[in-house]
Chains A and B, each alone.
Chain A
Amino acid sequence: MEIIMAIAAGILTMCAVYLILSKSVLRIIIGTGLLSHAAHLLVMTMGGLKTGAAPVLKDGVTQYTDPLPQALVLTAIVISFGVTAFFLVLAYRAYQELGTDNLEEMKGTDTHD
């Protein structure tokens, strides 16, 4: 299962990077969302999967799944939501101001005065 998940995380990352490299702002935002999913799966996989019961104390259970990656991923999910929301509004406002969602056309930092 770990091997399968490792490959899946790799493919997810691949798709995410491909989307991030494109010109459309929308695709980039989708890419970042996908990238965070990939990262979460990666962290979970690296910790080892299904090594015990769910990490909630219960009498008679001695073997639990590692709770640490879960805590990390939980934080990461919330943060990635915040970032995605920020990106979305940024894209929306940039489109309103500039009239384009194409990154190539937004270029202008060097000649900007």
Chain B
Amino acid sequence: MSLLHLAILLPLLVSLFIPLLYKKIRSVHTGWFVLLVPLTLVAYFSQFLSQTMARKTVVATMKWIPSLDINFTAYVDGLGLLFALLITGIGSLVVLYSIYYLDAKKEALHNFYVYLLLFMTAMLGIVLSDNMIVMYLFWELTSISSFLLIGYWYERERSRYGAQKSMLITVFGGLSMLGGISLLSLLSGSFSIRESLATVGTYSGDPLFTVSLVLFLLAAFTKSAQFPFHIWLPDAMEAPTPVSAYLHSATMVKAGLYLVARMSPIFAETPLWFYLVSSVGMFTLFWGSLNAVKQVDLKAILAYSTISQLGLIMSLLGLGAAALQVEILPDSLYTVATVAAVFHLINHATFKGSLFMMAGIVDHETGTRDIRKLGGLSQLMPVTFTIATIGTLSMAGVPPFNGFLSKEMFLTGVLEVSESGLFHLDTIGLLFPFVAVIGSIFTFVYSILIVYRTFLGPRQLEKLPKKPHEAPIGMLIPPLVLVSLVILIGLFPNLLSNTLIRPAAEAILPKVIANGGTIPVEIKLWHGFNLELFLTVLIISVGTVLFLTLPKWRSLYHRMPKQVSLNHQYDALLRRGERTSTAIHDTVMTGYMRSYLVYIFGFIVILILSSLYFLDAFRFDVNPLSTVHTYEVVLVLVLVGSALSITFARSRLTSIILLGVVGYTVALFFVLFRAPDLALTQLVIETVSVALFLLVFYHMPEISRKEERIKFKLGNAAISALVGLSVTLVALASLSQRSFASIAQYYIDNVADLAAGGNMVNVILVDFRGFDTLFEISVLAIAGLGIYAMINFRKTGGTDK
């Protein structure tokens, strides 16, 4: 275990002490203790920057399950480090924000921070693991912690619904990733991402490779809320706003992007990868921005906006795959898409994080997030207004903020690749710039909508549940830090170029570097008059027109029938699933003991007969049989006869006596079979048993069989006959074939030497297999305790005493 592992696990370890801190030190907000964790980690991870900038990586392995090739291998490269810094950096701001957002007196802070720290470890684990199984483990852990955080206010019905929805969808994705991992490791022979990458050429032609690719993408699309799996993200907004800012905009939803980026070197040369990633991303960009405009809840707008922006980055990662066709290309053309993806990832975290915090402030200070009730808050909340303006303008792609830069690069990337003619893009490729521009126009519209409807326009204070005023300073600092980054990156974009962007892009496109190419990351604020600038102007002007005419065309949204909406489909699917499983449950689980016994016996019969049949195990060999005497035949007849008579016996006394007859006959057989110990034991036990039966039956009613119909009896008879037949067949088969000699000879040879005894059965029981006997005695003791308890403890007045 290295320091790196400790860093990943630190939040988890600290979370163990959170409930204690919360209980013991009530006067200090628990968040202050938590804040130390991400701050420490930011400082710790920053020291890796110099190494990733020099194209070095850090690997530390901790053995976990070496026999299965599952080791906790922490691996820091440009991509992982970028995410680690994002997780810890935004994490620090979010924790600081939450200290003021969540009331220490009213909220269950110990739960909240435990979940949040659990998430932090899980997320760091995903981005810094090289072993895919370990990565999968952390992946599911993020789903679980997200579930817990969305359901934090679990007394609200919508919270529970949202939590369940996100859990179902993201865990479905996680499971398909597990499938993808299994297939990929079967092909490559390793769970390590780096080792799989090294041998990718040898197996990429396998048909299973494509299946694995699709399974990995399912995981990425569900996690990153890509169409049609995006429906969980708007419902996840029921979580407290710090959680939305952290998990559902800056980090967890980007795990899908991380997965795509991380697996790109392995899969991205397949055309299918390019098509799926870029077109799903592009459509999500369009669909998210289109739907954002119709929302009335601030957080819902931001949720759809996040979906749309995630789609944008996803499509860029897909388009970036074009750069891997380096055999065909002269130099490192088309890398701009990947660079733009990384750049926008950072930018999105800054402006969307600040916007979520802004929405939280508005909610906190006015009591509502409904934009129909808000308006004219700019003078009451000037700082929040500034944050909102900068954040939204950056999101809308207006210069000089960072969103403008990455949007320009996005357009460049889209144009470049669609003109390239790679992957037969001549026809469908023209659609990409078109969809990109439409998506950007709607992005512009909803960005303006957020600011205008909240802070400008008519003031309607009478509709607000609270009298609005500016938020406390602690709540304003985190978004202010983020918007200063928005401006800073916008004005000096190359601050990040070599420190974060280039190492990350190189990790996504290792082949470009391996082939001697470079990835240019010089980002310029002014490109000259080119097509991208023209498109930006087009976006802004059309967006403005659409915004001004919004009341006229807004009603178009209601034209879409409810039945075809994805949410409706999801609910219907869930209802149908519940109904079907209830129906199956009700049919199978009847509550009658007999039904369950029938299942058990039926299964035994099927298992035995089919394995005898399929393994061709049935042999019948009469050779080494022992002799039969007449008196033995008589005994067998007595045994079988009395057993059969029990089934017809009407009186309980007859049944008990017949059972006794069977028992004593068995004892006689033990004598015949040269088993004196068994015979003695059997005689004693049988006597005690019969006495016990008589004692208990004295208190019980006479056996009544009136209600047993003939059909019932015949069914039982058929099943029991089959079970009996199976037993006979197994006995004969095992008699007639021996795979290996009995180990009995060992006991026979050693009984005197090792145990100094003469009676082999006794020695086996008390010496060779002494522990078995010990457990046997424990079983008897437990049975005895149970009997004692049942007789002595009576139920009185509805409660157990």
Contacts and interface: CB of A to CB of B under 8 A. Distances in A.
A19 B681 contact: no
Interface string A12-27: 1111111111111111
Interface string A26-60: 11011001100110111011111111111111100
Contacts of B659: 30, 33-34
Contacts of A25: 700
26 contacts: A2-B625, A8-B640, A9-B728, A12-B639, A12-B640, A13-B720, A14-B723, A17-B724, A21-B597, A30-B659, A34-B659, A40-B666, A45-B735, A50-B627, A64-B744, A66-B742, A68-B747, A68-B764, A73-B678, A77-B681, A78-B685, A85-B783, A86-B786, A88-B692, A89-B786, A96-B699
B633 A4 contact: yes
Interface in B594-651: 594, 597-598, 601, 622, 624-628, 632-633, 636, 639-640, 643-644, 646-647
A100 to B, nearest CB: 8
Contacts of A4: 628, 632-633, 636
Interface string A67-91: 1101101110111011111101111
Contacts, number: 271
Contacts of B784: 82
A55 B681 CA distance: 16
B39 interface: no
B626 to A, nearest CB: 4
A88 B693 contact: yes
A73 to B, nearest CB: 6
Contacts of B735: 2, 6, 45-46, 48
Contact of A1 (B626, B692, B707): B626
Contacts of B636: 4-5, 8
Interface string B669-704: 110111111100110010011001100110111011
A107 B591 contact: yes
Contacts of A68: 742-744, 747, 764
What DSSP secondary structure best describes chain A's contact surface?
A: helix
A95 B701 CA distance: 9
Contact of B703 (A12, A13, A27, A91): A27
Contacts of B628: 1, 4
A85 to B, nearest CB: 6
Question: Which of B601, B666, B727, B732 has the most chain A CB within a 10 Å cutoff?
Answer: B727
Contact of B592 (A54, A75, A86, A107): A107
Contacts of A102: 704, 707
B626 A2 contact: yes
Contact of B673 (A19, A49, A103, A107): A49
Given A1-B628, A50-B672, A55 B748 contact: yes
A25 B449 CA distance: 73
Contact of A34 (B662, B672, B675, B678): B662
B720 A18 contact: yes
Contact of A14 (B674, B721, B780): B721
Contacts of A2: 625-626, 731, 735
Contacts of B626: 1-2, 48-51
Given A15-B720, A55-B759, A68-B764, A38 B692 contact: no
Contacts of B69: none
Q: Kindly list the 6 A-B residue pairs having the minimum CB-CB distance in the complex, ordered from nearest.
A: A14-B724, A10-B728, A17-B720, A6-B731, A67-B760, A55-B760
A15 B646 contact: yes
Nearest to B655: A30
Contacts of A81: 685, 688-689
B674 A11 contact: no
A20 B728 CA distance: 19
A13 B723 contact: yes
A6 B725 CA distance: 10
Contact of B779 (A57, A74, A82, A89): A82
B548 interface: no
Nearest to B723: A17
B640 A11 contact: yes
Contacts of A73: 675, 678
A108 B591 contact: yes
A83 B761 CA distance: 23
Contacts of B677: 70, 74
B744 A67 contact: yes
B748 to A, nearest CB: 5
Contacts of A83: 783
Contact of B719 (A21, A33, A96): A21
Given A17-B720, A30-B659, A109-B591, A1 B689 contact: no
Given A2-B626, A78-B685, A104-B592, 12 more contacts: A1-B632, A5-B636, A8-B636, A12-B640, A22-B708, A26-B700, A34-B643, A66-B744, A71-B765, A71-B769, A82-B779, A85-B783
A13 B727 contact: yes
Contacts of A107: 591-593
Nearest to B716: A21
A21 B644 contact: no
B760 A15 contact: no
Contacts of B663: 33, 37
B700 A101 contact: yes
Contacts of A47: 742
Contact of A75 (B724, B776, B790): B776
B501 to A, nearest CB: 61
Contacts of B780: 78-79, 82
A74 B681 contact: yes
Given A46-B731, A82-B780, A88-B693, A56 B760 contact: yes
A70 B594 contact: no
Contacts of A8: 636, 639-640
A110 interface: yes
B705 interface: yes
Interface string B32-65: 0000000000000000000000000000000000
A78 B686 CA distance: 10
A77 B593 CA distance: 25
Given A10-B725, A68-B744, A71-B765, A3 B622 contact: yes
B787 interface: yes
A50 B685 CA distance: 24
A57 B786 CA distance: 40
A57 B640 CA distance: 34
Contacts of B669: 5, 41, 44
A113 interface: no
B672 A86 contact: no
Nearest to B628: A1
B717 interface: yes
